[in-house]
Amino acid sequence: MAPTQRILVWDIPTRVFHWSLAVSFATSWLTSESERLAAIHVTSGYILLGLIAFRLAWGFIGSRYARFSEFVRGPAAVIDYAKSLLAGRPRHFIGHNPAGAVAIVLLLVLGLATGATGYAMYNELGGEWLEEVHEACANAMLAVVVIHVLGVIASSLLHKENLVRAMITGRKDGTADVGIQRGNGFFALLLAGAVAAFGWSSLQDAAKAAPAKSGHEKKHEGKKHEGKKHDD
Ligand code: HEM
């Protein structure tokens, strides 16, 4: 058997995507109740949407373990994996395991749905129901995030493999033949640059557009989303 060494598994765009997604989700969540922080909420929501659009493309053109063909599997594979878990001998995967992949697909779908309904709401394309759907999607996404993080911790313990560190460094222990060859730093730089440029210009625009708020207006701050229309 070939010797085990540190091999590259996650390319740089996948890692930049992951941590940017986690930050944009947390930012959107934490600012969702505040009228004063609405510009930040909307900006981080757009960034989340853009990141997912990037990830959908990267799932087809990215490196081996980033590709959907490598980790999106049918129900039979998920059941097999669950059985190996229950038997106390979970199968090891260098990339995403089939159960983790279900959470990942759900996060991408719910992220798209939350972002799209947020966009529609912000542009007044629907009624009250849109706000309900937006909140329901965001809540469902939070639930999946919690399951995702618990799954990552459980899987790290079961396999005695630090998955969080792997999502930071891109590296795991494995044989050289299963590692990826290149980090694809150029695409990561493009992604990080696009996120930074969009975030910066969007917040600058919001700062320019915001009229100096009077004490009367401030009293009305803090009600979720409603005030966006008042600010226009
Ligand atoms: C502190 C919080 C988080 C930690 C520690 C964490 C950790 C991880 C780890 C270790 C993986 C790789 C799993 C594997 O080895 O199969 C992963 C993948 C992933 N996580 Fe997280 N995660 C966190 C938060 C989030 C959040 C908030 C989201 C979504 C809003 C998210 C979405 C994803 C997605 C989509 C993937 C797949 C990555 C890809 O292939 O592009 N994670 N996460």
Ligand 1: residues with CB < 6 A are 14, 17-18, 21-22, 25, 55, 66, 96, 100, 104, 107-108, 145, 148-149, 152, 163-164, 167
Residue 199 has pLDDT above 90, yes or no: yes
- Classify residue 217: in a domain, yes or no: no
Instruction: Specify the residue with its C-alpha closest to ligand 1, atom 7.
Output: 164
Name, of 82-86, 194-198, 207-211, the range with top average pLDDT: 194-198
- Classify residue 223: in a domain, yes or no: no
Mean pLDDT of 170-190: 97
Instruction: Specify the residue with its C-alpha closest to ligand 1, atom 36.
Output: 104
Number of independent structural domains in the chain:
1
Q: Say what the pLDDT of residue 107 is.
A: 98
pTM: 0.90
pLDDT digits (tens, 9 = 90+) for 120-133: 999 989 889 999 99
- Classify residue 216: in a domain, yes or no: no
- Classify residue 26: in a domain, yes or no: yes
CA separation for the pair 179, 87 (Å, rounded): 28
Tokens for 208, please give them: 């320019």
CA separation for the pair 182, 7 (Å, rounded): 11
- Classify residue 212: in a domain, yes or no: no
- Give the domain extent around 158: 10-207
> 178 C-alpha to center of ligand 1: Å?
21
Q: Which residues have CB under 8 Å from 145's CB, separation 6+? A: 25, 107
- Classify residue 71: in a domain, yes or no: yes
Contact 194, 51 (CB under 8 A): no
Mean pLDDT of 128-152: 97
What CATH number is given to the structural domain containing 168?
A: 1.20.950
Residue 141 has pLDDT above 80, yes or no: yes
- Classify residue 230: in a domain, yes or no: no
Residue 212's pLDDT band (cuts 50, 70, 90) = low
Residue 179 has pLDDT above 60, yes or no: yes
- For residue 171, what are the β-bridge partners? 8
